[in-house]
Every structure is written in structure tokens, then in C-alpha cells.
């Protein structure tokens, strides 16, 4: 499958943002700690969610998935082993470690997959679980965590505010005996959404959204209902997509405070913004100005929007500097963007972008989710056709990508294996 983007047609109009991939992928594993029936709404219909639902079925849950609603029935007995083929496809499969070891006293989870943007160890997850009394080893490709006598609360000090380690720590602590205090916790909105959902199911988590989170363990969790927060990364992606041609574009059903780090940067670049209720409107009256961007844990600029803002800055006036501080290998878009005429140099974790007035379409390859999104954005601005391979990466995290872009006036379509020219 390839995505053909016919560039040079400015986007305008409104796009409805889906539920957050990274919140859904934390709250679905949390349900493995509950017993009974639950309903999650505003679930994004994306490949990663479908894989997570298959995993939940394989460990014993009954799943009904209908568009943006998921009903889950969790029985008293669950299988502690996450199937290898599914588990290794996702980074978020690691988020079943905490719930399964807390509930069953044992978890067997394959070393996770996800975007290849650095080495992505899970040492901080394991250190957190060990602080609660679990013993963790890697055997035959699986992380095995054991706590036959149950977990007990205590202090957890994270060396880095890792999103996944914070989530695993909260979930494990929710069913541990006594109180856990997580220091240097990640503050991302998805952590707050996880805590909100857990509290609805009967957990006692306070402080989510700050760097100290307290969890008082309870004996069990019931099911419940929860609606997933809007996806701040999808929100940013569509704002930037609209701005590739000047806009105006409106993103709806969003939480504007969650994208403040992006909005601040866009204002600096000269973007005009109107924020109201659950909508943000953005447009440009003139060519954007170059800016400096540095990714940081929330509330810093999100690494998951770094590739997309890099594409936006390709056409800015002046020289922009983008520094990636979260992942050591997240410039996979740079070489592909150069094929479209971008002027970028990377040195270590920094990219220096000299704005150009014109990009031109070419065949290019998506190799991870947000890198792929940045190629689509550049393709929208490039003259002629850009043909993008590797759509499976985009499908992991963007719901109805072509339909949403087409509704904004983009000329994009999917084709089955385009015939390469044959040279004789
Ligand atoms: C499914 C999900 O929610 N994915 C998100 C989550 O990934 P993820 O939870 O994997 O990201 P982390 O916050 O854990 O990773 C941040 C940094 O910490 C390092 N690290 C992390 C854990 C660990 O045990 N040891 C360690 O060294 C990582 O290699 C990375 O350099 O947060 C990232 C940072 O906002 C986002 O880009 C991902 O979209
Ligand atoms: C890095 C990402 O996802 P994952 O952690 O699932 O690989 C992302 O969503 O940009």
C-alpha cells in the first residue's frame, strides 16, 4: 500500500480529533486489573488499539469493539502470559506488566516493540516494580515479573520521568498493600487520564499531573465507564498539516491546554490562533518565521510532534533549530525530507533547517508513526506527487487519515503497490 499525496492544494476547514492513542493504550491494560464489565468510549480505531484488544482477548477478557466504543468483560481468572507475536508489536504491551503482576502475582510479557526511535529500554519499569517487591527477569524474550505474596507499597524514585514507567508504577501500586509514592513522575495528560479512569474503577490515586503521585492500594477494582481524552498529538498533526498551505484549519473536540507547548511555538513562528472551548483555529497571513524547538517531557514540547513541526519549518523564513531531547534516534524523517528539496543538516540530536520556498514531490518511505506523519505534511506542501511507502506505521496511530485529510481538501489516496517504471 502506498499513499499518494498531490501537493500544492492548501487545506482549510474543520477536522474532528479522535481519542488519544497513548491514553487508550494505558487504560486498556488497566482494565486487566478490574473484574466485571467496563465501557470505554472515544477509543481511536487504530491498529495499535486493535492489537491491544487481541492481547486482552488472549489473556481471557471478552471484548466487543464497535468503532469508538469498547465493552470489556474481565473474568476472575486471567492468563498471565501476553502472546509473543502481539506483545512484541507494541510499546504499550509493556503496560500489562504492572497490572498482571499486581493482580495475579505473575506476568509474562514479551519485550515490547513500538516506534524505532532509540534503544527504548524498560529498566525503569522493572526498577519500579521491584521497588514494590516484584522479582523481574528476562527469559526467552519475555519479561517475567513474579510476586507470589503480592506487592507492597513504598517509595519509587524514577531516574527520568518516563511515561510508561510512571503508568506501570501507578497500576501496580493500585493493587499493592499500603501506600506508594512515585517521585519524579511523568506529568503527561495521558497519565492524568489513566489515574482518572483507575479512580473510577475504585483505585485511590492522587497527584497525577504533578511529579509526585500517591497511590493507596485497594483489594480489588470493579469495572466502570470512561471516555478517553482527545489525542493531543493528532491535534497538533492536523494543525500543522493545515498550516503547510497557510490554513485556516480548525481542530475540534480537543483540549487546548494539552497543546499549549505547540501553540506557544506556533505563535512565535507567526501563526495566528483563535482558541475557544474545545476548538483551535490556526492560519498564516504570511510566510512563517524560523524558530528553535527543543523536545522535553510534558509540559515541554512533545517529542511526538517533533517530526511534524520539522516539516512545517521546512518553508519558514530563516534558519530553525530542532533539538530532540527524549529519544536518541528520532530524525528518521530528515533524509526522506531531503528528497523533497528540504535543506536540513543533523548533528547528533540537533537538526538545522534552512527554510526553502519550494518543495517538490518524490517517492519516500515511512519508517515510524510520526516520521510518517511528517512526510505526509511535507507532501501536502510539495509541488506534484509524493508517494509514501510504509503506511502500516501511520495506521498504528492515525484514525481515518486520508478521510480526515480529504475532508480538509487534501488530494490523497491509497493505492495497492504502484508499478515501478521498468528500465530496459
Ligand atoms: C505508548 C506510549 O505511551 N508511548 C509514548 C510514551 O512512550 P514511552 O513510555 O516508551 O516513553 P518514555 O517516557 O518511557 O521514554 C522517554 C525516555 O526514557 C527512556 N527510558 C524509558 C523507560 C525506561 O525504562 N528506561 C529508559 O531509559 C527512553 O529510552 C526515552 O529516551 O512516551 C513517549 C514520550 O513522551 C512518547 O513518545 C510515546 O508516544
Ligand atoms: C512513539 C510513539 O508511539 P509508541 O510509544 O507506541 O511507539 C508515538 O506515538 O509517537
Q: Which of 264, 278, 249, 224 is nearest to 73 (CA)?
A: 224
115 is a catalytic site residue: yes
Instruction: Ligand 1 pocket test: pick from 186, 326, 327 the residue with the most ligand atoms within 8 Å of its Cβ.
Output: 326
Instruction: Ligand 1 pocket test: pick from 164, 165, 237, 297 the residue with the most ligand atoms within 8 Å of its Cβ.
Output: 164
Q: Write out the H or E segment, with its range, that includes residue 239.
A: helix 232-243
pLDDT of residue 424: 30
Q: Where are the alpha helices (DSSP H) in 319-400?
A: 332-338, 369-381, 391-395
Q: Which of 111, 218, 226, 129 is nearest to 168 (CA)?
A: 129
Question: Using one digit for the tens of pLDDT, what is the confidence trace for 359-408?
Answer: 999 999 999 999 999 999 999 999 999 999 999 999 999 999 999 999 99
pLDDT of residue 113: 86
Which position among 61, 74, 115, 134 bears the catalytic label? 115
Do the annotations mark residue 394 as ligand-binding?
no
Residues 212 and 241 occupy one common structural domain: no
Question: Using one digit for the tens of pLDDT, what is the confidence trace for 134-152?
Answer: 999 999 999 999 999 999 9
Taking the CA of residue 90 as reference, the ligand 1 atom at the shortest distance is: 1
Query: Is any atom of ligand 1 closer than 6 Å to the C-beta of 232?
Result: no
User: The domain spanning residue 249 has which CATH number?
Assistant: 3.65.10.10
Q: CA-CA distance, 256 to 242, in Å (whole number)?
A: 17
354: containing domain: 2-17+231-415
Question: What's the average model confidence in pLDDT over 14-25?
Answer: 98
Taking the CA of residue 302 as reference, the ligand 1 atom at the shortest distance is: 35
Tell me how many degrees the CA angle 392-52-24 measures, rounded to the nearest 5.
95
Residues 247 and 163 occupy one common structural domain: no
Domain assignment present for 222: no
Q: ipTM higher than 0.85?
A: yes
Question: Using one digit for the tens of pLDDT, what is the confidence trace for 293-348?
Answer: 999 999 999 999 999 999 999 999 999 999 999 999 999 999 999 999 999 999 99
Q: Is the pLDDT of residue 419 over 80?
A: no
Question: What's the average model confidence in pLDDT over 20-24?
Answer: 98
Residues 139 and 240 occupy one common structural domain: no
Do the annotations mark residue 124 as ligand-binding?
yes
Q: How many domains does the chain have?
A: 2
Q: CA-CA distance, 7 to 9, in Å (whole number)?
A: 6
Domain assignment present for 382: yes
User: Sorting pLDDT into bands at 50, 70 and 90, what band is 418?
Assistant: low
Question: Using one digit for the tens of pLDDT, what is the confidence trace for 38-97?
Answer: 999 999 999 999 999 999 999 999 999 998 999 999 999 999 999 999 999 999 999 999
Amino acid at each position: 500500500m502506498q499513499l499518494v499525496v498531490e501537493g500544492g492544494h492548501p487545506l482549510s476547514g474543520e477536522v474532528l480529533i479522535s481519542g488519544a492513542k497513548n491514553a487508550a493504550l494505558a487504560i486498556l491494560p488497566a482494565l486487566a486489573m478490574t473484574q466485571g464489565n467496563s465501557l470505554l468510549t472515544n477509543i481511536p480505531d487504530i491498529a495499535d488499539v486493535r492489537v491491544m484488544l487481541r492481547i486482552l482477548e488472549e489473556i481471557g477478557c471478552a471484548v466487543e469493539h464497535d468503532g469508538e466504543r469498547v465493552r470489556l468483560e474481565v473474568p476472575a481468572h486471567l492468563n498471565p502470559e501476553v502472546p509473543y507475536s502481539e506483545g512484541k508489536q507494541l510499546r504499550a504491551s509493556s503496560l500489562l506488566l504492572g497490572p498482571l503482576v499486581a493482580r495475579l502475582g505473575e506476568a509474562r510479557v514479551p519485550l515490547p516493540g513500538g516506534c524505532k526511535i532509540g534503544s527504548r529500554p524498560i529498566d525503569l519499569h522493572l526498577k519500579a516494580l521491584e521497588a514494590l517487591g516484584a522479582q523481574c527477569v528476562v527469559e526467552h524474550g519475555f519479561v517475567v515479573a513474579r510476586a507470589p505474596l503480592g506487592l507492597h507499597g513504598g517509595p519509587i524514585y524514577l531516574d527520568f520521568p518516563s511515561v510508561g514507567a510512571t503508568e506501570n508504577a501507578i497500576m501496580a501500586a493500585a493493587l499493592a498493600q499500603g501506600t506508594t509514592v512515585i517521585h519524579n513522575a511523568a506529568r503527561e495528560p495521558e497519565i492524568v487520564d489513566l489515574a482518572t479512569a483507575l479512580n473510577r474503577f475504585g483505585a485511590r490515586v492522587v497527584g497525577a499531573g504533578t511529579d509526585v503521585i500517591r497511590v493507596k492500594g485497594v483489594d480489588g477494582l470493579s469495572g466502570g465507564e470512561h471516555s478517553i481524552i482527545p489525542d493531543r498529538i493528532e491535534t497538533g498533526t492536523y494543525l500543522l498539516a493545515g498550516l503547510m498551505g497557510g490554513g485556516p484549519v480548525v481542530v475540534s473536540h480537543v483540549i487546548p491546554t494539552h497543546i499549549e507547548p505547540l501553540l506557544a511555538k506556533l505563535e512565535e513562528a507567526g501563526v495566528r490562533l483563535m482558541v475557544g472551548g474545545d476548538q483551535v483555529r490556526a492560519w498564516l497571513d504570511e510566510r512563517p518565521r524560523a524558530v528553535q524547538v527543543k523536545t522535553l517531557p510534558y509540559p515541554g514540547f512533545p517529542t511526538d510532534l517533533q517530526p511534524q513541526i520539522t516539516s512545517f519549518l521546512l518553508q519558514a523564513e530563516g534558519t530553525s533549530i530542532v533539538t530532540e531531547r527524549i529519544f536518541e534516534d528520532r530524525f528518521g524523517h530528515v533524509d526522506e525530507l531531503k528528497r523533497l528539496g528540504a535543506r536540513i543538516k543533523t548533528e547528533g540530536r540537533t537538526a538545522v533547517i534552512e527554510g526553502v520556498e519550494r518543495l517538490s514531490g518524490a517517492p519516500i518511505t515511512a519508517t515510524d508513526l510520526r516520521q510518517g506523519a511528517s512526510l505526509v505534511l511535507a507532501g501536502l506542501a510539495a509541488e506534484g506527487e509524493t508517494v509514501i511507502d510504509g503506511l502500516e506505521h501511520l495506521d498504528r496511530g492515525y484514525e481515518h487519515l486520508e478521510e480526515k485529510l480529504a475532508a480538509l481538501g487534501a488530494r490523497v489516496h491509497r493505492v495497492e503497490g504502484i508499478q515501478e517504471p521498468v528500465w530496459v
